[in-house]
Amino acid sequence: MINGVLPSSLKQCIISPIPKCSLPSSVENDLRPIALTSQISKIMEGFTLKHVLSYLDGSLDRFQFATKGHSTAQALVYFLHNILEALDRGHCSVRAFFADFKKGFDLFDHNVLVRWVKS
- List the chain domain ranges: 1-59, 62-119
Threshold 0.75, pTM exceeds: no
Amino acid 56: pLDDT: 76
% the chain with pLDDT above 90: 13
List beta partners, residue 16: 34
**What angle is formed at CA 78 by the lines to CA 94 and CA 56, rounded to 5 degrees?**
125
| pLDDT value of residue 108 | 67
Q: What percent of the chain has pLDDT over 70?
A: 86
Per-residue pLDDT of 70-115, as tens digits, reads 888 898 999 999 999 999 999 899 898 877 666 666 666 667 767 7
What pairs with residue 14 in β-bridges?
Answer: 36
- Give the side-chain half-sphere CA count within 13 A for 67: 15
- pLDDT for the residue 89: 93
Residues 6+ apart with CB under 8 A from 38: 9, 10, 12, 13
One-letter amino acid at 71 equals: S
In this structure, are residues 11 and 35 in contact, taking their beta carbons and an 8 Å threshold? no
